[in-house]
Amino acid sequence: MQLSQKLVARPKLDVERVELPNGLVLLLSENHSIPSVSINTILRTGSRFEPDDKAGLASLTGALLDSGTTSKTSQQIAETIEAAGGQLATFGDYQSSGVVVRLLSKDTTLGLEVTADLLMNASFPDDKVHQDIDRRVAQIKARLDIPRTQASDAFNEIVFKGSPQHRPPIGYSETLKALTRDDVEAFYRRYYAPQVTMMAIAGDIDKKAIRASIEKMFGKWERTSKAEPPVIMRATRQDHPIESFVNAQKEQVNIIIGHLGIERRNPDYYALLVMDTILGSSPGFTSRIPRILRDEQGLAYTTFSNITSSAGLDPGRFVAYIGTAPENLDRAVSGLRGEISRIVAEGISAEELETAQLYLTGSFVFRFQKNSQIAEFLLEAETYGLGFDYPERYADLIRGVTVDDVNRVTRNYIDPKNLTTVVVGPVDAQGKIVKEA
């Protein structure tokens, strides 16, 4: 194949970055192909800032942003956006919180006004706080009905022990029930501040006009003094193997194997991205784990591995996943462990490297098709200091990776001897299959 001679599309984004006097960073990108706009505003705050006994606070605060403001009820907020056919979501997750609005571009100003109101004037009515806590306690129960989520939660508790990341961002029933309106208000007052806010707007906009209206709407938002985060405890990678079996009456066993991963800013990120593509993260069945465990052995519909996709401000996780019939449990576990060991022991071939590089460079262009994707990229670039010319440099970052680089980072960041294995399904505490009565 002469594919490597083909041109690699290098998306070029026209980005304007403006920092307001209060520290708010504004990122703008025009795209007039569809009459829509995506307004993604995030703050660098999340559940990594909350203590264990307040688990769920950041997520609750983020979700309650649209529960009322000093001038509007929750229903009025929803009506305002929805009457224009828009979509509004507010959230608080592990490392960021915020407001995402998608609208027809003729309603852009409306989207900005609502965003400003929620970020500056949220009022957290007492009844809405209690109502949402109640609902979340029920949602935590419902998580036990989704075996892959249950397995993932159990895995995180082990692998991220000692760091705030061990908790699900939604928190636990006990901690949620103890939260009060004052907790929410205090978290909001402390951490929702312009100097930790990034606002990305992509779509059918006029940059100059939008910049003026944002300066007007957000200029009066004042810096606070306490938005700096507490010291975040880091998890350490385990030095011994750990196994955990969780009983659930299900048709499948859900298996997650892995350990602590890497930060997004790690310079080995790109070599590990190549490793991911070779071991278990390509779409289709070209990478090793899906090809061997699904396409050749027929063990699963879903099986994959990755270390880079969870890399963030704090180290993420290296995971290999498979969902399979209970009778395949042993084969599936040894299959995943075998592929993890093999890539560490034997490394990769030059052909595998080239294939992965072609895929990564050729598919990059698909990350910039939608306004929401462009807005998300702008936030990612700002968060990790990637630079807005990153799309043009990406191909070189990937092409610069060598076989030796991949083999070195695989040995450094993947440890087949000290893995956590979590199994959720019809198993007992020793991992033996239990048949339904």
Partner 1 sequence: MTIINNTAAEETQTEFPPKSFITQNVHKSVLSNGLTILTKEMTGTPVVATIIWYRVGSRNEELGQTGKSHFLEHMLFKGTNRYKKGEIDLITHLNGGANNAFTWLDFTAYYFTFASDRWEAALEIEASRMRDTTFAEEEFASEKQVVEEELRIGLDGPWEALENEVWATAFRQHPYHWPTVGWLEDLEAASGADMKAYYDKWYHPRHATLVIVGDIKRQQVLQKVENLFGSIPTGPAGSSLNIVEPRQRGEKRLVVRRQTPVERLLIGYHAPEVGHPDSYPLKIAEAILATGKSSRLYQRLVEGDQSVTKADATYHDHIDPSLFYIQAELKPGFALADVEAAMYEEVERLKTGDITQAEVDKAKRQIESSLVLGSEEPLQQAILLGQFETIASAESVPPQSRGYQYLDTLQEMVDAVTIDQIASAARTYLIQDNRTVGYLTGEVEAGEQERGRAA
Applying CB under 8 A, the site for partner 1 has a residue count of 73
41-70 positions binding partner 1, by CB under 8 A: 66
Q: Counting contacts by CB under 8 A, is residue 149 touching partner 1?
A: no
Give residues 88-127 in contact with partner 1 (rule: CB under 8 A). 102-104
Binding mask 239-268 for partner 1 (x = CB under 8 A): ---------xxxxx----------------
Sheet holding 420-425, edge to edge: 242-247, 420-425, 253-260, 317-324, 303-306
Could you identify the residue written with the tokens 């403006």? 18
Q: How many CA atoms lie within 13 A of 220 on its CB side?
A: 7
Distance CA 4, CA 342 (A): 28
Q: For residue 362, state whether it binds partner 1 (rule: CB under 8 A).
A: yes
| Choice from 123, 165, 282, 306 touching partner 1 (CB under 8 A) | 282
Q: Which of 45, 165, 324, 410 binds partner 1 (CB under 8 A)?
A: 324
Query: Which of 275, 271, 46 has the alpha carbon at shortest distance from 170?
Result: 46
Residue 198 DSSP class: E
8 Å CB contact between 111 and 37: yes
Tokens of 282: 């390509």
List the x/- string, 158-197, binding to partner 1 by CB under 8 A: ----------------------------------------
Least gap, CB of 89 to partner 1 (angstroms): 10
Q: Which is nearer to partner 1, 16 or 354 (CB)?
A: 354
Measure the CA angle with vertex 103, ends 100 and 109; round to 5°: 90
CB 238 to partner 1: min, Å: 29
The CA–CA distances, whole Å, from 286 to 149, 196, 276, 277 equal 26, 41, 12, 9
Q: Beta-strand (E) ranges in 45-189? A: 87-92, 97-104
* Binder among 71, 109, 121, 363 for partner 1 (CB under 8 A): 363
At its nearest, how many Å lie between partner 1 and the CB of residue 131? Answer: 6
Within a 10 A sphere around the Cβ of 36, how many other Cβ atoms? 20
Cβ proximity to partner 1: between 123 and 355 the closer is 355
**If you ran DSSP here, which 8-state letter would residue 354 be given?**
H
Instruction: Candidates 180-188, 335-343, 352-360, 399-407: pick the segment binding partner 1 (CB under 8 A).
Output: 352-360
Beta carbon of residue 339, minimum distance to partner 1 (angstroms, whole number): 17
String marking each residue 8-37 x if it binds partner 1 according to CB under 8 A: -x-x---------------------xxxx-
* Residue 143: count of CB within 10 angstroms of its CB: 14
**Residue 330 engages partner 1 in binding (rule: CB under 8 A):** no
C-alpha atoms less than 13 angstroms from C-alpha of 233 in its C-beta half-sphere? 13
Supply the minimum distance, in Å, between the C-beta of residue 84 and partner 1: 6
- Do 429 and 245 meet the contact criterion of CB atoms below 8 Å apart? yes
Q: Decide: is 3 part of the binding site for partner 1 (CB under 8 A).
A: yes
Closer to partner 1 by CB, 217 or 365: give it.
365
> Minimum distance from CB of 283 to partner 1 (Å)?
5
Strands 242-247 and 420-425: parallel
369 binds partner 1 (CB under 8 A): yes
Helix (H), strand (E) at residue 16: strand 15-19
Task: Out of 75, 208, 385, 437, name the contact with partner 1 by CB under 8 A.
Answer: 75
Q: The tokens of 265 are what?
A: 């800013």
CA nearest to 266, candidates 317, 308, 234:
308
Interactions with partner 1, residue window 372-391 (CB under 8 A): 372
Q: Under rule CB under 8 A, which residues in 292-311 are in contact with partner 1?
A: 294-302
E strand or H helix at 40: strand 36-43
Question: Cα–Cα distance between 205 and 185 in angstroms, integer?
Answer: 34
Which residue's CB is nearer to partner 1, number 160 or number 364?
A: 364
User: Smallest distance, Å, CB 209 to partner 1?
Assistant: 21
Query: What single-letter amino acid sits at 288?
Result: R
Least separation, in Å, of the C-beta of 34 and partner 1?
A: 5
Contacts of 248 by beta carbon, 8 Å cutoff, 6+ apart = 144, 147, 150, 424, 425, 426
| Residues 204, 209, 210, 211, Cα dihedral to 10° | 140
Choice between 41 and 150, CB closer to partner 1: 150
- In the complex with partner 1, the residue whose CB is nearer, 52 or 389, is 389
CB 231, min distance to partner 1, A: 35
Which one, 147 or 258, has the nearer CB to partner 1? 147
Q: Minimum Å distance from CB 33 to partner 1?
A: 5
- Span from 85-93, 116-124, 235-243, 342-350 in contact with partner 1 (CB under 8 A): 85-93
